[in-house]
Structure 1
Amino acid sequence: MVDHSDSTPLRTLVTDAGREILLFGITPPRLSTDPARIREITAATLARLDTLEVDGLALYDIDDESDRNPAERPFPYLPTLDPAVYHAEYLGEWDRPAVVYRCVGKYSEAQLRTWLQTADADRVLTVFVGASSKDKQVRTRLSPAQALRRDVRPDLPLGGVAITERPDEHLRLIAKQQAGCEYFISQVIYSSDAAKSMVSDYFYACRERHLEPKPVLFTLSVCGSVKTLAFLKWLGVHVPRWLENSLRHADDTLAESSAHCLATARDLIAFCRRLGLPFGFLVESVSIRKSEIEASVALAGELSGLLERGRKSG
């Protein structure tokens, strides 16, 4: 068991430039899950996380993204519990921060206002996610949601999404930063080159504008099957052809994927330290397969040992 009595204050996670952040990301249980089963799943999750020295938990807000890609979705869309409800009703024993994602297009401004007014800023950060395509019908667009948060809860730390494959993403990050974002979390990364190009562009664009760059957290997700690989590609994740070949032909796809994630992390750690950009990682665990969950936990444990956690001696 890890002692969390010296857990870092919430805002310090994203304002202490000397601290390299580590989050663990999960999807709340399916909406159709029985409450007793939800408690069982939650207890198992917390038991795994208790062995890890992570700074916080990320709770995803799942939306139907079929507008993103006309191809058939490799896994069916199944609604999940609202991450804010899941956090409030089932994660009372979680004693560290939680990043609650909000797919703002799902909610009216009144709904977002109510949540912002009631969110506990001592326990919660948030990430606002915009529409998955420009043509998608939404209830609230990203910019009005950001403005609403500035008006209603400027003390609630706000994060933004980073998509490393987009060539002008650094400009989007700066626009989000100017709209109040204090940190960024990337989409799943399988190409460290794309991630390095994005943060390099962002770092130097900030320098030109006399802005302090905000922390960028890179999302890593192990891949245990060819079907999971297909889903990552369906979501728009760039998987280099050489890596796709390796994963498809590996004797153990999960082990191959885990080794690649760790190598990617080492590459990004060295690059960001050399650049001087504040950074961290989010290890994603969204599979229901025990082997993939355990591989995600093992990856987070490895990363915890690689990162400078900003702890004071004494």
Structure 2
Amino acid sequence: MFLRKIKEKESGILLYGITPPKIQTAPEKVITIAEKTLERIYPLDIDALVVYDVQDESARTSEVRPFPFTGALDPFEFTTTHLQSLSIPKIIYRPAGKFTKEELAQWLQDLTDNKCYPVLVGLPAPDYKVKTSLKEAYEIWSKHKNDSVIGAVTIPERHATLGDEDIRMMDKMESGVSFFVSQCIFNIDYARETLEALAATCKYKKQEMPTVIFTLTVCGSVKTLEFMEWLGIHIPDSLKNELITTDNTVEQSVKIALDIADELINYCSEKSIPFGFNIESVAIRKEEIDASIFLVNKIGEMLKAKGLRKKSGEIAEQSRA
């Protein structure tokens, strides 16, 4: 179970991340999308499904957004209405500042009742009027700490720029956060530097390391590459050149993701850092969706080869026992 693995700091966690359908999608089309989503997720050996909250981040930068923003359905409503037959836990993102304390308290209760776990995020625009601070949101959540876990986001690029990601993470850990889901990883050095800083801070404060779940994604085109950079994801020039010059961007991005996963598995295992992976599937093109399925299965195999996930035969044997 996802809850047990986080509480016991077990490595090898595997998640799959999706976004809900666009807000203007016709109701019958939403049902079709949900059915196709379930079809591809049912066979996956994952610990939980991540459902993102889509926010407009245009105010964060003066650069023109490569793709126009389109809002999406509420992730919790989409999950409880259309994905209930999927028995695995769901991890739901929400910007706490958009909601009053009363609204957030009810939402957190609903999540707990439905065996969902929250990841609270900040607001996309610095001038947005905050209704509930993250610290207040964590205090509201604390009544569920015996039956739930709460996550937060970590951004290695922010550490490369400001050098304080470890302090930000520690502050959230002191408020009850026990796992972090990263922004998409393309720069392995940034990820390692963040982990090294966090490990040093945890050692100084005599705290255990939290579980860090690294997000990996499929890049299907040069336009998508530009969008990821617009979001603040740093892609080293060498990898960017590989993605731009290759004859098959999807295939090359999968290869890059697997190489990154291999490095992170070895690094975290060596340093005894509890970790896992979240494979994003936010594209609408079939080729990219299929590639995300291949990626999550392949990384699952890599984790099993390292003894970090049980093989199907071992699971069956354990069930019989």
Q: Normalization by structure 2: what TM-score?
A: 0.91
Q: Are 1:82 and 2:74 counterparts?
A: yes
Q: 1: CA distance between counterparts of 2:168 and 2:275? A: 18
Tell me if 1:295 matches 2:300.
Answer: no
Q: Secondary structure of the equivalent of 2:277? A: strand
Distance 2:145 2:106 in 1: 11
1:102-121 maps to which residues of 2 (within 5 A)?
102-121=94-113
| Structure 1 segments unaligned to the other structure (5+ residues) | 1-7
C-alpha distance after superposition, 1:43-78 (max 9, x if no partner):
111111122111110000111111211111111111
Which segments of structure 1 move beyond 6 Å, counting only runs of 4 or more? none
Are the aligned partners of 1:250 and 1:256 in contact in 2 as well (CA < 8 Å)?
yes
Percent of aligned pairs with the same amino acid? 37
- Deviations, residues 181-203 of structure 1 (Å, cap 9, x unaligned): 01000011111111111112112
In structure 2, relative to structure 1, the CA distance for the partners of 1:233 and 1:90 (3 Å cut) is same
Partner of 1:212: 208
SS at match of 1:11: helix
Other-structure match for 1:148: 140
Map 1:12-23 to 2 at 5 A: 12-23=4-15
State the match for 1:3 in structure 2. none
Aligned to 1:5: none
User: What is the alpha-carbon distance in structure 2 between the residues aligned to residue 69 and residue 303 of structure 1?
Assistant: 34
Per-residue deviation, residues 15-68 of structure 1 (Å, max 9, x unmatched) = 233341000000011111122211111111111112211111000011111121
Q: Which residues in structure 2 correspond to 1:215-230 (within 5 Å)?
A: 215-230=211-226
Question: For residues 34 and 56 of structure 1, what CA distance do their matches in structure 2 show?
Answer: 27
- 2:191 aligned to which of 192, 195, 201: 195
Question: Are residues 242 and 177 of structure 1, via their aligned partners in 2, closer, same or farther at CA, if it must alter by over 3 Å?
Answer: same
Q: Report the equivalent of 1:309.
A: 309
Q: Aligned-pair distance for 1:245? A: 1.3
Contact 1:67–1:136 (Cα < 8 Å) also in 2:
no
Alignment of 1:96 with 2:50, yes or no, is no
**1:24–1:284 contact (8 Å) kept in structure 2:** yes
| 251-260 or 196-205, larger mean C-alpha shift | 196-205
More helix by share: 2
Q: What aligned pairs does 1:1-314 form with structure 2 within 5 A after superposition?
A: 8=1, 10-121=2-113, 123-151=115-143, 155-165=147-157, 166=159, 167-307=163-303, 308-309=308-309, 314=318
What is the distance in 1 between the residues matched to 2:309 and 2:200? 25
1:121–1:156 CA contact under 8 A, matched in 2: no
Mapped partners of 2:165, 2:113: distance in 1: 28
> 8 Å contact 1:62–1:103 — kept in the other structure?
no
**Number of aligned residues:** 306
CA contact (8 A) 2:98 2:123 kept: no
- For residues 195 and 174 of structure 1, the distance between their equivalents in structure 2, rounded to whole angstroms, comes to 16
Amino acid at match of 1:110: E
| Range with greater deviation from structure 2 (120-129 or 150-159) | 150-159
What is the TM-score with the length of structure 1 in the denominator? 0.93
Residue 305 of structure 1 aligns with an amino acid whose one-letter code is E
Task: State whether residues 113 and 152 of structure 1, in contact with CA within 8 Å, keep that contact through their aligned partners in structure 2.
Answer: no
Instruction: Compare 26-35 and 125-134 and name the one that shifted more.
Output: 125-134
Distance between the aligned counterparts of 1:108 and 1:190, measured in 2? 36
Change in 2 beyond 3 A, CA 1:140/1:64 = farther
> For the Cα contact (< 8 Å) 2:105–2:140, is it kept in 1?
yes
The answer to whether the Cα contact below 8 Å between 1:24 and 1:283 also exists between their aligned partners in 2 is: yes
Displacement of 1:86 = 0.8
